[in-house]
């Protein structure tokens, strides 16, 4: 038996094979879990259904464990309701829900944070933070006892990370939303946590220049290196499994200890020389 044998749930936010959500989903499926996925809605005139194909190109390789892929625009309550209805139809109840959804326009990400447009701020906050509340509220009646919810955050919501800009504000709001959701869902036996990964090569990371952070993490972290998709996938699977049943309302950092540093650490030696 695997860690997720008999478990069913939703994985939201897979964009391609480098997505953190996909790394976690692979762990879940390899341990026997059944997953429902979403994709961004395709435009009516897109005959190739590019958004759907990006996800199904991955899930089609796991027909026994990837049970469905449906469109989801988290700005539309009817889309969220349809997703939950599909999960209820397919699974009855769900044991886990992974939320890996965030967005801000490139124009706003490239601006100084104080120059973020009003409309861009609203858009980024709605998709990146409010969507967690909207989804778990819609799904609250199909959560199984001891279900687990996990969202993906970043250190830029806790401390200033130049270049992360408005997304840092969104992640701070997401972190707070996670904690209050954990309180609201606690009486139902549902846990809610966040995973904060170090820099990884993903579409989202490319938009905020996270690749430039890798040398800094290697120089400053206690382990002297950067984590991989495999590290994050395993910890994400752990947090969505019964193995973490005493953990809720927490931000779990998977960054080789970078977030614990209060000084440049061994980087000081390089500065001195």
Q: Active-site residue 154, yes or no? A: yes
Residues for the chain: how many in total? 273
Residues 116, 165: contact at Cβ < 8 Å?
yes
For tokens 């990370």, the residue is 161
Residue 233's closest CA among 6, 8, 11?
11
Candidate list 164, 217, 256, 258, residue with the active-site label: 164
Q: Active-site residue 130, yes or no? A: no
Q: Residue 111, Cα to own-chain centre: how many angstroms?
A: 24
Residue 149's closest CA among 196, 100, 203, 202?
100
Candidate list 103, 154, 217, 256, residue with the active-site label: 154
Residue 217's closest CA among 191, 182, 254?
254
Residues 117, 107: contact at Cβ < 8 Å?
yes
Instruction: Give CA–CA dist 257/113, Å, rounded.
Output: 27
Helix (H, G, I), strand (E, B) or coil at 46: coil
Residue 209's closest CA among 165, 144, 250?
165
**Residues belonging to the active site:** 154, 164
């Amino acid at each position: 038996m695997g860690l997720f044998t008999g478990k069913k749930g939703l994985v939201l936010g897979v964009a391609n094979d480098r997505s953190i959500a996909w790394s976690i989903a692979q762990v879940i499926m390899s341990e026997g879990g059944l997953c429902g996925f979403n994709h961004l809605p395709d435009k009516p005139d897109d005959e190739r259904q590019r958004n759907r194909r990006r996800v199904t190109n991955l899930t089609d390789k796991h027909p026994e464990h990837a049970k469905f892929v449906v469109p989801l625009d988290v700005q539309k309550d009817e889309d969220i309701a349809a997703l939950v209805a599909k999960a209820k139809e397919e699974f009855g109840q769900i044991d886990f829900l992974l939320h890996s959804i965030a967005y801000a326009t490139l124009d706003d990400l490239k601006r100084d944070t104080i120059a973020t447009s009003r409309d861009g701020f609203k858009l980024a906050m709605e998709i990146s933070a409010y969507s967690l509340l909207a989804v778990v509220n819609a799904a609250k009646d199909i959560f199984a006892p001891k279900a687990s919810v996990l969202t993906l955050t970043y250190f830029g919501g806790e401390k200033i990370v130049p270049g992360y800009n408005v997304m840092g504000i969104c992640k701070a709001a997401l972190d707070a939303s996670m904690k209050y959701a954990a309180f609201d869902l606690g009486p139902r036996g549902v846990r809610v946590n966040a995973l904060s990964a170090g820099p990884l090569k993903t579409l989202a990371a490319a938009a905020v220049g996270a690749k430039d952070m890798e040398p800094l993490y290697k120089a400053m972290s206690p382990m002297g290196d950067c984590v991989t998709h495999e590290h994050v996938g395993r910890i994400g699977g752990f947090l969505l499994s019964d193995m973490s049943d005493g953990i809720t309302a927490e931000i779990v950092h998977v960054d080789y200890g970078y977030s614990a540093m209060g000084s440049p650490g061994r980087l000081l030696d390089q500065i001195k020389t």
